[in-house]
Amino acid sequence: MPLLTVSEVSKSFGGIKALDGISFSVAENDVLGIIGLNGSGKTTAVNIISGFAKPGSGQVRFKDRDITGLPPHRIAGLGIARTFQTVRPFHNLPAFKNLIVPLYSPRIRKFTEGGRWGDRDAVALDLLEEVGFERDSYVPYKPASTLPHGYLRRLELARCLALKPDLLMTDELFSGLSASEVGSMVPLIEKLQTRGMTLIMVEHRLRELFRLANKIVVMDRGRKIAEGSPSEIVENSTVKETYLGAEL
Amino acid sequence: MVPSLIIYGLINSVALALIALGFSLTYGISRVANFSHGALYVVTGFAAWLLLNRVQLNYYLAVFLAVVLISVIGASIYRLALIRVRGMPLLEIIVTFALGTAALEALRFFGFFGSNYSLPPLFRGGVTLLGVPVDTQRLAVVVIGGTLVFILWLVTHHTRVGLAFRAMAQDEQAAMMLGIDSDLMATWSLALGAALVGLSAIVLLPLSFIATESGANILVSAIAVCILGGLESTAGVIVASLLIGYAQILTVAYLGPHYQMIVALLAILVTLIVKPSGLFGKQKELEERV
Amino acid sequence: MARRLERIDRPIKVLTDDIYALSSIWNMLYVAVPRIFPALLVLLMPLLSPGAYGERVVIITAIYALLALSWDFISLSTGLVSLGQALFFGVGAYIAGLLNLHLGLSPILTLALATVLGASFCTALLAPCLPLRGIYFAMTTLVYPLLIARVIEATAIVGGTDGLVGIDSFPNAWVETYLVLIFLLGCGFGLRRFMTTDLGLVLRSISDNDQAARASGVNVTSHKLIALWIGAALGAFAGAYFTHLYMFVGLSAFSLDLSILPIACAVVGGMGTLAGPVVGAFILVPLAEMLRDLGTLRIVSYSLLLVALVLFKPEGLLSYLKRRYEQVERWVEV
Q: Which residues of A touch chain B, with CB atoms under 8 Å apart?
A: 43, 47, 52-54, 84
Instruction: Please give the interface size between B and C, counted as residue pairs whose CB atoms are below 8 Å apart.
Output: 107
Long-range CB contacts (within 8 A, 24+) of C150-153: C150/B258, C150/B261, C150/B262, C150/B265, C151/B262, C152/C251, C153/B258, C153/C251
**Pick from A43, A52, A84: which is nearest to B288 by CB?**
A52
pLDDT tens digits along A31-62:
999 988 888 888 899 999 999 988 989 999 99
CA angle C173, C250, C244 (to 5 degrees): 15
Q: Give the model's pLDDT for residue B287.
A: 43
Q: In chain A, what percentage of residues exceed pLDDT 70?
A: 95
**What is the signed CA dihedral for A124, A130, A131, A135, rounded to 10 degrees?**
70
Give yes or no for residue A155 having a pLDDT over 60: yes
**Tens digit of each residue's pLDDT (9 = 90 or more) over A98-113:** 999 999 888 888 776 6
Count the Cβ atoms, other than its own, within 10 Å of residue C178: 14
pLDDT digits over B203-237, tens only? 998 888 888 888 888 999 999 999 998 876 778 88
Q: How far is CA B249 from the centre of its chain?
A: 19
Contact residues, chain B, for C300 at CB < 8 Å: 101-102, 105-106, 109
Examine the pLDDT at A244 and tell me if it is beyond 60: no
Mutation target for A interface from B277, B282, B287, B290: give the one with most A CBs within 10 A.
Answer: B290
Chain B contact for C52, CB < 8 A? no
Which residues of chain C fall below pLDDT 70? Answer: 1, 19-21
Entry pTM: 0.89
d(CA B72, CA B81): 14
Residue at A12: amino acid letter: S
CA distance A117 to A121: 8
The C-alpha of C87 sits at a distance from chain A's nearest C-alpha, in angstroms, of: 30
CA–CA distance, C38 with C185 (Å, rounded to integer): 10
C135 touches chain B (CB under 8 A): yes
pLDDT reported for residue C19: 66
pLDDT tens profile A17-34: 888 889 999 999 999 999
pLDDT band for A116, please (50, 70, 90 cuts): low
Mean pLDDT of A183-195: 90
Residue C197 at interface with chain A, using a CB cutoff of 8 Å: yes
Beta strands in chain B (DSSP E): 126-129, 132-135
- Which residue in chain C is spatially nearest to B261 when comparing CA positions? C150
The answer to whether the Cβ–Cβ distance between C304 and B102 falls below 8 Å is yes
Residues of A with Cβ-Cβ distance to B283 under 8 angstroms: none
The reported pLDDT for the residue numbered C151 is: 92
- Residue B277's region, left for phi above 0, alpha for psi from -120 to 50, else beta, is alpha
Q: Cβ B286–C133 below 8 Å, yes or no?
A: yes
Residue B282's pLDDT band, with cuts at 50, 70 and 90, is low
B42-71 mean pLDDT: 92
Q: Do C304 and B98 touch (CB under 8 A)?
A: yes
Average of pLDDT values for A73-91?
A: 92
Q: Is C17 on the interface with A (CB under 8 A)?
A: no
Residue A140: CA atoms inside 13 Å, Cβ hemisphere, count? Answer: 22
pLDDT, position C47: 87
Dihedral-angle region of residue B31 (phi above 0 means left; psi in -120 to 50 means alpha; beta otherwise): left
Mean pLDDT calculated for residue range B57-71 = 93
Q: Give the 3-state DSSP-derived string for A89-115, with helices as H, strands as E and coil as C.
A: CCCCCEHHHHCHHHHHCHHHHHHHCCC
**Mapping DSSP to helix (H, G, I), strand (E, B) and coil, where does residue B156 land?**
helix
What is the rounded distance in angstroms from the CA atom of residue A231 to the CA atom of residue B181?
54
Predicted local confidence at residue B289, as pLDDT = 37
Q: Which chains touch B (3 or more CB pairs under 8 A)?
A: A, C
pLDDT at A246: 54
Query: Closest approach of chain C CAs to the CA of A46, in angstroms?
Result: 12
Q: Are the C-beta atoms of A123 and A112 separated by less than 8 Å? A: yes
Cα angle C288, C291, C294 (rounded to 5 degrees) comes to: 135
Residues of chain B with C-beta less than 8 angstroms from the C-beta of A84: 290
Minimum-distance CB partner of A105 among C197, C211, C218: C218
How far is it, in rounded angstroms, from Cα A140 to Cα A149?
14
Would the CB atoms of A104 and C201 count as touching at under 8 Å? Answer: yes
- Averaged over B177-194, what is the pLDDT? 86
| Cα-trace Rg, chain B | 19
Q: How far is CA A34 from the centre of its chain?
A: 11
Give the residue with greater pLDDT, B231 vs B244: B244
d(CA C165, CA C158) in angstroms, rounded, equals 11
Identify all chain B residues contacting A43, using CB atoms and an 8 Å cutoff: 290
